[in-house]
Amino acid sequence: MTSTASGRRYRVHPAWLVAAVSFVALIGAAGFRATPGALITSLQDEYGWSRGTISLAVSVNLLLFGLTAPFAAALMNRFGIRRVVSIALVLVAAGSGLTVFMTASWQLVLLWGVLVGLGTGSMALAFVATVSGRWFVRSRGLVTGVLTAGSATGQLIFLPVVAWLAHDHGWRAAALVVAGGALAVVPLVLLLLRDFPADLGIPPYGGDEIVEPPARTGNAARVAVDALRGAARTQPFWLLAGGFAICGATTNGLVGTHFIPAAHDHGMPTTTAASLLALVGLFDIAGTIASGWLTDRVDSRLLLAGYYALRGLSLLVLSQLFAASPHPSMLVFIVFYGLDWVATVPPTVALCRQYFGDAGPVVFGWVFAAHQVGAAIAATAAGLTRDHLGTYTPAWFVAGGLCLVAASFSTRMPDPRTFAPVPVLAAPTAPVDVLSPPRP
């Protein structure tokens, strides 16, 4: 039973309702994450565009998906979570729905790349870090894992539907379903999502004191940029950003975008390949929630090193597993890789908060931007590799090697228990001025 300052009692802490609404919103935004890989072949067949051209639109999307995140985190501090998330969902719907009218490849870049990139970027993992950081003290890692799994759940729900619609009814029907899914979540967000526990007169879940929200003053863009300036002076930031860039390259950029067309190259039907990728999403839910639980109990640096190393080993053997139909070895890969898909997120969010204190969500936004820069480079590079060499094999080997590099980055991070948090931003109860990091 939770009591508010006004005496109102809740059987279930409202933080769990906020988490549930956030989870559903993430599912709505994640619909588009399932779209590019399932529609590449359809767009190529109808318009004659090369995979490199289509991959460019995906790369722009991935890049803006990342670069928008830190500014979105700052905008949530300035204007509130509810407003930012609602607008983001409308942008995703518009970018996906308007593709039915496009006639040129530059329009694909504008809609898939720019509009959807801005929308999904505002619903990226910095949103997860903001919600879990504001509303939870206890079980913060677990909630981060569950919300992160929302993206995988969206992929799981939409990917088979998108592939089936594209195959039986055309890619335009698939695009409209994704747009409708995003719009359907907007009323729920407007009605039920709240910005701070203090708005209801209660402490965060597991907390003892009501935390007053920060003053909504200052320029959100300046807050985000100054947070980057301060964090970039520290070693942990670069190690986290470097590892997460490789994480993005080896998930969204490579596997998320090119697994389906790569399987199709070996004779596997698109719907079958889409179902396999959806299974990755299914096992990712279990893996990410488990990772969140472990993050509350185990050194996050060790978790990251293990996750990256195991992912690298799985990618090194992937090129040998493609065939016209799924076989046991491919299914083992799907299970293994799926458990590791975004298991890196909860420990990375935790380390950002441990190293950078209350500025953790904004700094994580920049770390996530690095994730998407890596994803964007990998999406285009893999498409060009396929266009010029006729195979994706070199891309899988390079990705596996990079994961081993990311594992080494994780082992070089300083112990957060002896590392004083860097005051990149002012304390949450003060105006959002930016402080310089302390001198060593």
Residue reference for tokens 């209660």:
202
Residue 405, in any domain of the structure: yes
Residue 201: predicted pLDDT: 86
Those residues with Cβ within 8 angstroms of residue 107's Cβ, 6 or more apart along the chain or in another chain? 99
Q: Is 427 among the domain residues?
A: no
pLDDT of residue 214: 66
Residue 396: pLDDT band with limits 50, 70, 90? very high
Length of the chain: 440
pLDDT at 92 over 80: yes
| Token pair listed for 55 | 């991959």
DSSP 8-state class, residue 426? -
pLDDT at 182 over 90: no
**In which domain, by residue range, is 161 found?**
7-196+218-411
Average pLDDT in the chain: 84
Q: What DSSP letter does each residue of 106-175 carry, written as one string?
A: HHHIIIIIIIHHHHHHHTSHHHHHHHHHHHBSTTHHHHHHHHHHHHHHHHHHHHHHHHHHHHHT-HHHHH
DSSP code string of 290-357: HHHHHHTTS-HHHHHHHHHHHHHHHHHHHTTT--SS--HHHHHHHHHHHHHSSTTHHHHHHHHHHHHG
The candidate with the shortest Cα–Cα distance to 20, out of 193, 223, 222, 264, is 193
pLDDT, residue 215, reads 63
Q: Does the residue 435 lie in any domain?
A: no
Residue 324 counted as domain residue: yes
Cα distances from 230 to residues 12, 222, 236, 363, 436, in angstroms, run 39, 12, 12, 9, 6
Asked whether residue 201 is domain-assigned, the answer is no
Question: Do the Cβ atoms of 34 and 255 come closer than 8 Å?
Answer: no
Which value, to the nearest 10 degrees, does the dihedral of the CA atoms of residues 385, 388, 391, 396 take?
-20
Res. 376: pLDDT tops 60: yes
Task: Kindly state whether residue 207 falls inside one of the protein's structural domains.
Answer: no
Residue at 179 is within a domain: yes
R_g over Cα of the chain: 21
Q: What is the DSSP string of 58-122?
A: HHHHHHHHHHHHHHHHHHHHHH-HHHHHHHHHHHHHHHHHGGGG--SHHHHIIIIIIIHHHHHHH
The tokens 């905008």 sit on which residue?
Answer: 75
Residue type, 215: A
Distance CA 260, CA 273 (A): 5
For residue 336, give the CATH number of its domain.
1.20.1250.20
Q: Which residue has the higher pLDDT, 365 or 427?
A: 365
What is the pTM (predicted TM-score) of this model? 0.73
Structurally, the chain folds into a number of domains equal to: 1
Q: What percent of the chain shows pLDDT beyond 90?
A: 31
Percent of the chain at pLDDT exceeding 70: 90
Tens of pLDDT, residue by residue over 289-335, are 899 999 989 999 999 999 999 999 999 999 999 988 888 899 999 99
Q: pLDDT-derived band of residue 440, with 50, 70 and 90 as boundaries?
A: very low
Question: Is 433 inside a domain boundary?
Answer: no
Arithmetic mean of pLDDT, 138-159 = 79
**DSSP secondary structure code for residue 256 in this structure:** I
The mean pLDDT of 47-51, rounded to a whole number, is 85
Category of 196 on φ-ψ map: left (φ > 0), alpha (ψ -120 to 50) or beta: beta
Question: Is 80 exceeded by the pLDDT of residue 74?
Answer: no
